[in-house]
Chains A and B, each alone.
Chain A
Amino acid sequence: MTARLHHLLSMEDLDAAMIELILDTAHKLHEIADRPIKKVPTLRGRTVCNMFLEDSTRTRLSFDLAAKRLSADVLTFTGKGSSVSKGESFRDTALTLKAMGIDAVVVRSHSSGAPQQLASYIDVPVLNAGDGWHQHPTQALLDLYTMRHHLGDLSQLHVAVIGDILHSRVARSEVQGLRTMGARVTIVAPPTLLPPSIQGWGVDVVRSIDDIIDDIDVAYLLRVQHERMQGGFFPSSREYARIWGMNGDRLRRMKAGSIVMHPGPMNRGVEITSEVADHKRAVISDQVTNGIAVRMAVLYLLLGGGPEGAGHASAEVMA
């Protein structure tokens, strides 16, 4: 049995057994969504604070729904920028939350490391919902869940992570999660959007999608953010789409059974053509659906439940 989950800050903190536990727990909780009453009383009386310090719709809604399906009370705290603009330190903000007696904090921040800082200030579980360029562990977990569902044994997979690795918290979490599960990972990116160093990442880097397109099980495309298009990292979105984008021709060269994934929101016509985005082998809406179950599982495990309890939660619904 693996150690208990105290916080979820980074995929780096999770070993394979813990990842398996989260995915198995999510699997058990998944069926709740298929019930007429999509709610179990598991976290009744517990309060989860959703602290979203950066604009986010998809992730916030997903966490909101996950907590509510477990019957937790949800306190949403949104704001942009730093607490310093209010003359308060980030530490003070954290201590205020602690004083309110909440049971867990889900935090999204523009600042890399903010969830880790928060965890050092307060003693309740902290769940990283995305921090700067650093980590987005629940995204990686829902992606692993989705890959496992479609393709089976993760250790047998070859996944290409394609696009803006440098600025991507998804890429960092994705690579670590896949490597922990024993998958082979290849990175494809314009050289200007590679991190300064991939020392210790355990990945291969290739110059062109076309070098590996017929070997991969998953083409994982990253969003090209608008500011990167303006930032001179590559000459034009047209050139990006031609060299680094996923299109129908490339999709047709992929192996039978292989899938295309994207964390959303997509820039159609840049990193992915509409033909691919709407193709049956693109499992992008599955990712969104699975995100709720995975976030339920993580909240459940962070707030003290074990694997038996998850079965029980599910059993309660079936009763």
Chain B
Amino acid sequence: MRLLLKGARVLDPASGRDEVADVRILGEDVVEVGPSLTDDGDHVHDLAGLWLVPGFVDLHTHLREPGFEEAEDVATGTAAAAAGGYTAVCAMANTDPVADSAAVVEMVWRRGLEVGLADVFPVGAITKGLAGEELSEFGELHDSAACVDFFSDDGRPVASAQLMRRALQYATAFDAVICNHSEEPSLTAVAQMNEGAMSSLLGLPGWPHEAEEVMIARDLILAAGVGARLHVPHVTTAGAALLIREAKARGIRVTAEVTPHHLSIDDAAVASYDPVFKVNPPVRTVDDVLALRAALADGTIDAVATDHAPHPPETKDQEWEHAPCGMLGLETAFSVVVTDLVEAGALDLLTAVARFTTGPASVRNLRGHGGSIAAGHPANLTVVDPAQRWQVDGVQLQSRARNTPFQGRTLQSKPVHTMLRGRFTLRDGVVQS
């Protein structure tokens, strides 16, 4: 199969290319990129007026399989990924059973291949059963077919400094990355939302920014001490961004991610008590949102990651206090960043694309994802229509769940085609399952 993608604005952060160009694909790979390529009997797609970018990569996805298929599974989650322009997602370990054995991570990885809508890179649990007590078998997970090189107990912090230090040390044997949920649990025992003026008014127990920053500071010091690689998930506070910026300047091997919702929504949204806005870490203040945008723009934060966390209505539609934390993200992520950051002038478009592609690829080995649009690279590509304005409706999303915090919002730009190794997974806005 030969394809010729003609006339798109090619945005390729790896090479810095931002120009109208044609891209020729043969089989699974890009074979030629250049202005005005001649049609050699290819299937031609006219992409004039559209953006052609590398397929997006999500470092932080809850696919919920195995164990919580009423919320999401690999098929619905990767359909959501394809619809959002993603060609690869990293599936978090808090499944049931937990992703702490080769059997579980290989199952999840294989389900991704079978479904064929996005490559699934499982995240391994740092501790067995996410219990925070004993390290899981990093070697077994690393040597499995899923090749796990990234470990997280996401949702739960590794509270013990000793255990965290050992995890970081042990991971260096596999050049693996440790990603610790940044929350000092003794400061958040009953927390329900960001601590501050809004929590004071709403009478909800606060989740203080210090709880995140204390944990990040500890982990940065530990990672520096043993020379290990640390990844900070879902950064939410101005102070956390400052810690990471300083650590990078000092040469500590740290990477970081931020979610679209923390870049877009502040804690005033909680005044509705609509549990769709309940998330951990919580949405913070406007000042935090602005600091996160700046940190994403200046490279302190490497990647936008969704923390896509589906929950079915019967658990999410509870009193705020009883509702679980988490929001959908895959299908709105890029559009939110374009609408709230790029259009607002807080981030240039090529950098925005980088934070969805080369940024995540700098964090872990993504085997052909997050790379360049260049000859010899796999054709993992996304086409975005910048002119499309669309209104988010949870019922219309590919995810099994509906808990999008952007319900009813009008967003600018939408992925219209997604291609995984030369094959459309999203075509004209329709998932190709």
Contact = CB atoms under 8 A, between A and B. Distances in A.
A113 B208 contact: no
B314 A87 contact: yes
Contact of B203 (A88, A89, A135): A135
A89 to B, nearest CB: 4
Given A172-B201, A196-B195, A90 B314 contact: no
Interface stretch (B316-324, B355-363, B386-394): B316-324
B261 to A, nearest CB: 19
A112 B321 contact: yes
A133 B322 contact: no
A140 to B, nearest CB: 13
A199 B195 CA distance: 13
Contact of A84 (B195, B274, B315): B315
Contacts of B192: 112
Nearest to A169: B203
Interface string B286-324: 000000000000000000000000000111111111100
- Residue among B272, B313, B320 with max Cβ neighbours from chain A (10 Å): B320
B204 A91 contact: no
Nearest to A113: B273
B195 A172 contact: no
Given A84-B322, A113-B273, A133 B203 contact: yes
A256 to B, nearest CB: 35
Contacts of A201: 200
Contacts of B199: 195-196
Contacts of B313: 89, 91
B240 to A, nearest CB: 18
Contacts of A116: 272-273
A216 to B, nearest CB: 23
Given A117-B273, A196-B195, A196-B208, A82 B200 contact: no
A111 B318 CA distance: 10
Interface in A198-253: 198-201
A82 B14 CA distance: 51
B113 interface: no
Chain A contact surface mostly: loop
B200 A111 contact: no
A78 interface: no
A200 B320 CA distance: 24
A274 B296 CA distance: 60
A114 interface: yes
B132 interface: no
Contact of A82 (B202, B273, B319): B319
B139 interface: no
B103 interface: no
Contact of A117 (B195, B200, B204, B320): B320
B314 A112 contact: no
A114 to B, nearest CB: 5
Contacts of B208: 196
A30 interface: no
B203 A134 contact: yes
A197 B203 contact: no
Interface in B242-284: 272-274
Given A113-B273, A197-B196, A133 B317 contact: no
A115 to B, nearest CB: 9
A132 interface: yes
Contacts of B273: 112-114, 116-117
Contacts of B196: 196-197
Which residue among B195, B196, B272, B314 has the maximum number of chain A CB atoms within 10 Å of its CB? B314
A52 to B, nearest CB: 14
Contacts of B204: 112-113, 132-134
B198 to A, nearest CB: 8
Given A87-B314, A91-B317, A200 B197 contact: yes
Interface in A111-165: 111-114, 116-117, 120, 131-135
Most buried by A among B206, B273, B317, B319: B319
A83 interface: yes
A292 B192 CA distance: 33
A83 B315 CA distance: 10
A109 interface: yes
B386 to A, nearest CB: 35
Given A89-B314, A197-B196, A111 B201 contact: no
B429 interface: no
A113 B274 CA distance: 9
B155 interface: no
Contacts of A87: 314
A6 interface: no
A110 interface: yes
A69 B196 CA distance: 42
B270 to A, nearest CB: 8
B205 interface: yes
B195 A132 contact: no
Interface of B: 192, 195-197, 199-206, 208, 272-274, 313-322
Per CB-CB distance, the 6 closest pairs between chain A and chain B, nearest first, are A113-B273, A134-B203, A133-B203, A111-B319, A195-B200, A82-B322
Given A90-B318, A113-B273, A114-B320, 11 more contacts: A89-B315, A117-B319, A117-B320, A132-B321, A133-B205, A169-B203, A172-B201, A195-B200, A196-B197, A196-B200, A197-B197
25 contacts: A82-B318, A83-B318, A84-B315, A84-B318, A90-B317, A90-B318, A90-B322, A110-B321, A112-B192, A112-B202, A112-B320, A112-B321, A113-B202, A120-B272, A131-B203, A132-B203, A133-B203, A133-B204, A134-B204, A172-B203, A195-B199, A196-B197, A197-B196, A199-B197, A201-B200
